[in-house]
Structure 1
């Protein structure tokens, strides 16, 4: 978007670029090479997750027992597992599962955590005390152990693993939003909105929530990486995706007894997890550098 201004003394037209916070943030983000690398890794895995059915040479369930534990070759780029299934195909489809769990568990955590954080921070008193104590109780347990307990109660499945990951991460976003709301609700423009009779709901959605998005975006990006690791951990323990779904953590668990005999069965799922998590971490760090005013010179 550009703005035209006419200089009448010289009869020339000067074109000035209109800047905004998000435009400036994108410009600064593009200058961060490591953040762009992270974005590239994320886009790469998103693309292969989308086109997996079209580029996979085999079905991820197809078993060829005569070809079990074959090393990488032109027929099987990543080799085969102990059931003769093509690892390249299973890694491609595994990207779908890991990204699906990562994105939707974080979205669930953000939605619930943001609502609770706003209620606690804006209304205070008994609402703040009740919600804050609830957050403290959840945070008193190690996140992976609490997720294991939740899945053990609900039953092992990928969907229940998603629920568990979302639940254990709600306090992270709730406390982040609560702290932001506490700092915003005493600002002059919020006090002015109250003085003119603006309703609380409008203040929350028009002023409080938009100004709380920056830390949510940064933490959400980093949270996806954490969610992918937690999903892989649950899958490794047999509490996440169930056979024959090609979840990366489950693939590592099934192949751990073949580490010496067929190391490729462990290397490719492990590297996939590492690169995906690295991508979100690099991008999250870049977003924090760009969006956090304290990180700017």
Structure 2
């Protein structure tokens, strides 16, 4: 009987423990909780999500085909039919701006991913192996950094030929040293830690040490820089498009739209306002989110 009489107490104790159990914690969960308390970072994330959704559903929400011309309706101001007005060829600016989000975000994300992969690989090799490998890779980075980024991108596109794909390659190449040097400096500090020495003592080879221990502990600055780098890549793509070295007609890239409309600023200011605002908001969103990630993931950045 005593055994049965204790059961309710055990059940209530178990319920109390479950009710007051601590919140599951972890570095990434803690970072997300801290990120949620940063209002500006959340605003940046909201802006990015908005433009990503717009880019994904552009074919379904665009009122007109982005390359459909109607010379009778050229340079029409914003109206009920054309919310953003029309350009010099009578094309609907709202539709072109929506499709432009697809191009700008595609270039931004893909160029940064390529830069991160190549730069991270070179930085890991330079920082971990050192000696001649570090010397060659570091000199390569120094050569690339000796030129202003946009001028080097212009030179690369001029050699490869004007196109959106070549502009993407140029932007990726220009930004490789940024990630490479960042990873190299992180590897130089991480590889002297005691757990790396312990891994060597246990017989772990270099590849396992790099992939299992060094790379995961070097991801924080890469993630922060990558987020900020997307905004920079979008600006660089817009600059190349403005110069006629990026997307080619009739592709509705925001920088190219600004270039095509610059002679109509007085007669049709809406032709430059909406693409310009789109570039500004997208880059601002990535910068705000990147600053928030830096505050959350980098303890030295916390005030």
Please say whether Structure 1 and Structure 2 have the same fold, judged by a TM-score greater than 0.5.
yes
2:255 corresponds to which residue? 249
The structure carrying a bigger strand percent of its residues is: 1
**Pairing 1:222-233 to 2, within 5 Å after superposition:** 222-233=228-239
CA distance in 2, matches of 1:296, 1:260: 46
Q: Give the count of matched residue pairs.
A: 290
1:4 corresponds to which residue? none
CA distance in 1, matches of 2:22, 2:47: 35
**Pairing 1:107-256 to 2, within 5 Å after superposition:** 107-256=113-262
Q: CA deviation at 1:175?
A: 0.1
Structure 1: 5+ residue runs without aligned partners? 1-6
Equivalent position SS for 1:16: coil
State the superposition RMSD in angstroms.
1.1
Structure 1 stretches (4+) deviating beyond 2 angstroms?
none
| Alignment partner of 1:264 is 2:292 | no
2:6 corresponds to which residue? none
1:67 corresponds to which residue? 73
CA distance in 2, matches of 1:259, 1:191: 63
Q: CA deviation at 1:295?
A: 2.3
Give the TM-score normalised by structure 1: 0.96
CA distance in 1, matches of 2:283, 2:208: 37
Q: Report Cα offsets for 1:38-93 as digits up to 9, x if no partner.
A: 00000000000000000000000100000000000000000000000000000000
CA distance in 1, matches of 2:145, 2:127: 18
| Alignment partner of 1:51 is 2:51 | no
Give the TM-score normalised by structure 2: 0.94
2:21 corresponds to which residue? 15
Equivalent position SS for 2:162: coil
Q: Report Cα offsets for 1:16-39 as digits up to 9, x if no partner.
A: 112000000000000000000000
Structure 2: 5+ residue runs without aligned partners? 1-8
